[in-house]
């Protein structure tokens, strides 16, 4: 994604069913033009606060406010150090608030940030809020949960799911409790048109499986996908606050995407060449080629030979000046570069293809929801829903699985929105689904 391209995104946070206050927060800072994209990129942040009433809210709100600002402030020093400093300075500020105010003792927050830039996507991370990339029918988890269960699984070399609910909700790293914090920085991951990134709090991943998440964000545009995922989490019990931030990059079939791909290849070629050959040497070589071309034009009486010679002389002089500059300049101490090769981690992968089986799975969910709504007397536009459900059934009958999943998601969203509105009006709410095992 070396060329600037606006991204489609949606962010949504919800208190959930069981909690009285929402301690989650999120923020989106997309670049408005090519200049902003080159300078700092698109920046997105999710945070999940911890502590008593108002304490967690204060920490998460500060994280999503300060991290993008501090990143933009330090990005001229390099992306990787800028992400680390943004998290570390935010941590220090939250820690200071906790130390200076006894009523805020214990405040803290997880935070996960996504930065989409010309060289790729970067992820900064502390805690157990997650970042996923969905591509080609696979949801890839790009963050390591800073929790006891994930740490013990790492030490034992096993999948965290094998440990079940053992210390499932105990996190071992967050912003605020300690004066210093270790920050995970992942990337830059290659980005191509059609990629979908999702940041979320554990209020989503604790009750909605990654394969369902991947299918929903693939099937629907970001705003609809965010609403459906939040509704799904609430329908499965909503035991925690829920935050979803979805970023879709480009359109896989657009001409702009093809131009971006060509620009990315050209940029890599130029960068690789400049690492091996100083620009002054390139200029000298180019000037000699132009001089030879001007001589050939002169011998064959081709118009423009004089202009070509002047151009060749200018390029050669520039190359000589650059050569003198480089020889006089003291060599700089080598340091790590942001675009240097880095190990790219994908901590877990979950297939989430748009298949007939997925469409039928969502159809079963919808049937359960209808039964629950009718049993509780929840009002809905049943005629409107019937039309949407018929579209999903027709697509499935034709064997077009992707269209069937997409239509079924919209049909399910139609009912889930109605159920959500009814929940907001009533003090008691009975979820329609049981919570699956967290992955």
Over residues 346-400, the pLDDT tens digits come to 999 999 999 999 999 999 999 999 999 999 999 999 999 999 999 999 999 999 9
Give CA torsion, residues 95, 101, 103, 107, to 10 deg.
Answer: -10
pLDDT of amino acid 2: 65
Q: In terms of Cα–Cα distance, which of 227, 168, 234 is closest to 203?
A: 234
Within 13 Å and on the Cβ side, how many CA atoms surround 212? 27
Going through 238-326 in order, the beta strands assigned E by DSSP cover 242-249
pLDDT of amino acid 421: 86
Please enumerate in sequence order all residues whose Cβ is within 8 A of that of 104, keeping only pairs 6 or more positions apart, or say none: 51, 55, 58, 97, 98
233: buried, middle or exposed (CB in 10 Å: 19+, 13-18, 0-12)?
buried
Q: Specify whether the CB–CB gap between 172 and 148 falls below 8 A.
A: yes
Mean pLDDT confidence for 146-155: 93
Residue holding tokens 């790219």? Answer: 344
3-state secondary structure of 200: strand
d(CA 275, CA 340): 11
pLDDT of amino acid 275: 56
9: buried, middle or exposed (CB in 10 Å: 19+, 13-18, 0-12)?
buried
* pLDDT tier at 435, thresholds 50, 70, 90: very low
Q: Specify whether the CB–CB gap between 174 and 109 falls below 8 A.
A: yes
pLDDT of amino acid 298: 80
Within 13 Å and on the Cβ side, how many CA atoms surround 384? 10
pTM: 0.79
Whether residue 188 has a cis bond before it, omega within 30° of 0: yes
d(CA 241, CA 246): 17
* pLDDT tier at 338, thresholds 50, 70, 90: low
Q: pLDDT by residue (tens digit) across 290-319?
A: 888 888 888 888 788 788 788 878 878 887
* pLDDT tier at 335, thresholds 50, 70, 90: very low
Helix ranges (H only) for 21-78 are: 34-39, 55-74
CA angle 26/30/31 to nearest 5° reads 155
> How many beta carbons lie within 10 A of that of residue 73, not counting itself?
15
CA angle 433/354/382 to nearest 5° reads 50
d(CA 208, CA 203): 9
Q: Is the pLDDT reported for residue 271 higher than 60? A: no
pLDDT of amino acid 362: 96
pLDDT of amino acid 244: 98
Q: Among 168-177, 204-213, 291-300, where is mean pLDDT lowest?
A: 291-300
Q: Is the pLDDT reported for residue 46 higher than 60? A: yes
Average pLDDT, the chain: 87
Q: pLDDT by residue (tens digit) across 185-197?
A: 999 999 999 999 9
3-state secondary structure of 71: helix
């Amino acid at each position: 994604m070396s060329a600037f391209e606006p991204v489609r995104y949606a962010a949504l946070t919800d208190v959930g069913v069981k909690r009285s206050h929402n301690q989650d927060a999120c923020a989106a800072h997309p670049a408005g033009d090519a200049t902003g994209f080159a300078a700092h990129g698109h920046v997105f942040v999710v945070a999940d606060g911890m502590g008593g009433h108002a304490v967690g809210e204060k920490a998460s709100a500060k994280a999503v406010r300060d991290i993008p600002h501090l990143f933009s402030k330090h990005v001229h020093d390099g992306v990787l150090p800028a992400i680390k400093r943004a998290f570390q300075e935010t941590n220090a500020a939250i820690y200071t608030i906790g130390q200076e105010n006894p009523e805020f003792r214990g405040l803290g927050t997880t935070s996960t940030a996504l930065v989409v830039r010309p060289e790729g996507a970067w992820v900064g991370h502390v805690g157990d809020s997650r970042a996923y990339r969905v591509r080609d029918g696979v949801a890839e988890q790009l963050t390591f949960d800073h929790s006891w269960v994930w740490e013990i699984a790492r030490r034992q070399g096993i999948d965290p799911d094998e440990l079940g609910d053992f210390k499932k909700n105990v996190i071992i790293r967050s912003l605020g409790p300690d004066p210093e914090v270790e920050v995970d920085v992942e990337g830059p991951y290659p980005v191509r048109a059609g990629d979908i990134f999702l940041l979320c709090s554990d209020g989503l991943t604790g009750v909605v499986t990654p394969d369902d998440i991947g299918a929903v964000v693939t099937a629907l545009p970001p705003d609809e996908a965010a609403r459906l995922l939040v509704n799904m989490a609430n329908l499965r019990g909503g035991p925690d606050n829920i935050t979803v931030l979805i970023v879709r990059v480009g359109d896989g079939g657009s001409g702009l995407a093809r131009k971006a791909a060509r620009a990315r290849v050209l940029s890599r070629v130029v960068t690789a060449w400049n690492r091996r050959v100083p620009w002054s040497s390139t200029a000298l070589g180019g000037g000699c080629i132009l001089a030879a071309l001007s001589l050939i034009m002169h011998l064959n009486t081709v118009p423009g030979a004089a202009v070509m010679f002047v151009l060749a002389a200018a390029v050669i002089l520039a190359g000589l000046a650059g050569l003198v500059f480089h020889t006089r300049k003291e060599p700089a101490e080598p340091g790590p570069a942001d675009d240097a090769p880095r190990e790219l981690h994908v901590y877990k992968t979950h297939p989430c293809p748009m298949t007939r089986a997925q469409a039928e799975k969502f159809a079963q969910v919808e049937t359960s929801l209808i039964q629950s709504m009718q049993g509780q007397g929840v009002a809905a536009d049943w005629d409107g829903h019937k039309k949407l459900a018929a579209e999903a059934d027709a697509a499935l009958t034709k064997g077009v699985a992707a269209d069937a999943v997409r239509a079924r998601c919209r049909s399910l969203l139609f009912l889930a929105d109605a159920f959500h509105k009814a929940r907001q009006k009533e003090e008691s709410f009975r979820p329609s689904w049981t919570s699956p095992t967290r992955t």
